[in-house]
A and B are shown apart, each in its own frame.
Chain A
Amino acid sequence: MRIDPHDLSVPPPTPTAETLPFWQAARRGELLLQRCADCSRWVFYPRALCPHCWSDRLDWAPASARGTVRSFTVVHKPGHPAWAVAAPYTVAVIDLEEGPRMLSALVGIEPTEARVGLDVRARFVEVGEWALPFFEPAG
């Protein structure tokens, strides 16, 4: 089954003052990441200091929202009961073009079509109050 996150009532994100710009941008359909003004490296998830060089000069910058699947799993028995209606669904670790990795779920694809190395792009889907960056095949 292809997941349709619109139908889900799942645990929402829990934004903090550090992460709020990420979630506000997601509502606009934009993948906004932090970039270190000192070492130039991209950072995900958002935080108060650069984990690479400990600079606190982190700027927000729009990312390409493209990446490749580093690994994935087809979840048949979800750890959280709210996801049971969507099972089986596909969770993936995505290597973002800019370097950081993030976890998401794949949409617009059958679980049997998921592959390591698959090129994907973000697709923002409203889930409750927020929009979540899921990923779909880029092709």
Chain B
Amino acid sequence: MRAAIVGVGEVPPQRSTEGRTTMSFLADAARRAVADAGIGKDRIDGLLVGPQVGETPQHVPATVAEYLGLQPRMANVVDLGGASGPGMVWRAAAAIAAGMAETVLCVLGNHREPVPPRSPNRNPIREFDVPFGASGANTAYALLKTRHMAEFGTSDRDFAELAALARANAQANPTAIWHGRPADVDGILASPWVAEPLHLAEIVMPVAGGDAVIVTSESVAAGLELPHAPVLLTGAGEMVTHRAMSQAPSLTTGPLRPSIKQALAQAGLGIDGVGLLSLYDCYTVMLAITLEDAGLCAPGRFADWMRDHDLTPGGDLPLNPNGGQLGIGQADLAGGLSHVVEAVHQLRGTADGRQARAARSALVTGNGATMSEAVALVLEAS
């Protein structure tokens, strides 16, 4: 699995977006990525988009292509929740390797005015979870945290450390939704319960935004006069295990474990060879389980592991140096792509005031639904 990421774009997160459409966010993100790559938009001949609840339920690729004035040779929807963005990157690489496209635009984004409607499910999760008062992701991830605490003896304070790190890292990122508003562990713990044992500050803030990534082959990238060195995709892994939290094979380990293992094997790296972590963090508990599933520490030991490392941008192993989604806010599905965009900035040295010390490789993860849709990528500096 090899390809080159030659352009990235991110629309700064915002809480409300009066009068704007999802399409306008996709267009904004796409234009930023094309400008970043220094290419013309007509070079794009592949398009990967996400589902759009409410605005465009069907024919999403055609609708987006038309709006952007593109006529792609390959187009599809990637519907893996927060894993959609990383899932797009390897699918783009696979399509390029198969000769179905040369340069693929992966783009996700959303507005928040009005807040999008609920997903009109008529499926098992609607029939067997919602009637019992379990709507939405908060209850599902709270169930994960309870089980982790019961099985391993981890504490509320341990999880709060992860949120406090995100808030601290966000202070060097002026576009982060929590920029200017740091919080220490006590501040995280003082935030109200949403679904006990989850505090409000352990949950991402929903925002509007958009992210885009441009993927091409290494040979095409070599022939372009790029403003920034390309970042290479060298490994990928994916797994989907269930939909409803009650049907999860485990509440303490997830499909990211085999996905990360496969991605590292493809890249020929061990986890100790990774210099930067850009890990999906919709909730503190998801980040904790990901650290454990990556093999960075034994199951249940994430808090001890954290104390042994400096995870800030200047530290020995930077973790989400832009603040992650717990720091910048979650722009719905684009949140998953934000971890790719940040890793690209870090690896090619364009992370402005939050540049980590020279990392050559990054582990990127995406996670969807109820710790059930997983994608892991290894990215490397060229």
- Interface residues of chain A, those whose CB is within 8 Å of chain B, are 3, 10-16, 19, 45, 47, 70-80, 83, 86, 88-89, 91-93, 101-105, 111, 116-117, 127, 130, 132, 134
Contacts and interface: CB of A to CB of B under 8 A. Distances in A.
Interface residues of B, number: 36
A91 B132 contact: yes
A15 B132 CA distance: 14
Contact of A77 (B122, B129, B137, B195): B195
Most buried by B among A74, A76, A92, A103: A103
B130 A11 contact: yes
Interface stretch (B144-152, B268-276, B301-309): B144-152
B17 interface: no
A46 to B, nearest CB: 9
Most buried by B among A19, A76, A79, A104: A79
Closest 7 CB pairs of A and B: A79-B136, A79-B135, A73-B142, A74-B196, A116-B150, A103-B246, A80-B135
Interface in B118-139: 122, 124, 126-139
By DSSP majority rule, is chain B's interface helix, strand, loop, or mixed? helix
Contact of A93 (B130, B131, B137, B251): B251
Given A13-B127, A103-B128, A73 B251 contact: no
Contacts of A105: 132-134
Given A91-B134, A93-B246, A103-B245, 15 more contacts: A11-B131, A12-B131, A19-B127, A71-B144, A73-B142, A76-B194, A76-B196, A86-B133, A88-B196, A93-B251, A103-B246, A104-B132, A105-B133, A116-B146, A117-B150
B198 A73 contact: yes
B139 A91 contact: yes
Interface in B73-94: none
B143 interface: yes
Interface of B: 122, 124, 126-139, 142-147, 150-151, 192-198, 244-247, 251
A103 B147 contact: no
14 contacts: A14-B127, A71-B150, A73-B139, A73-B143, A73-B145, A73-B146, A73-B196, A77-B194, A79-B139, A80-B133, A86-B133, A91-B132, A102-B246, A104-B132
B133 A78 contact: yes
B246 A101 contact: yes
A134 to B, nearest CB: 7
Most buried by A among B129, B142, B146: B146
Contact of A79 (B124, B138, B144, B196): B138
Contact of A72 (B124, B126, B138, B146): B146
Most buried by B among A83, A91, A104: A91
A10 B129 CA distance: 12
Nearest to B196: A74
Contacts of B145: 73
A86 B135 CA distance: 14
A134 B128 CA distance: 11
Contact of B130 (A16, A74, A80, A88): A80
Contacts of A134: 132
A105 B128 CA distance: 11
Contacts of A103: 128-129, 132, 134, 244-246
Nearest to A8: B133
A101 B195 contact: no
B251 A70 contact: yes
B143 A72 contact: yes
B133 A10 contact: yes
B131 to A, nearest CB: 5
A127 B151 CA distance: 34
A84 to B, nearest CB: 10
Nearest to B131: A13
Nearest to A134: B132
Contacts of B151: 116
Most buried by B among A73, A76, A80, A134: A73
Contacts of A83: 133, 135
Contacts of B126: 11, 14
A102 B128 contact: yes
B133 A71 contact: no
Contacts of A117: 150
A124 B122 CA distance: 23
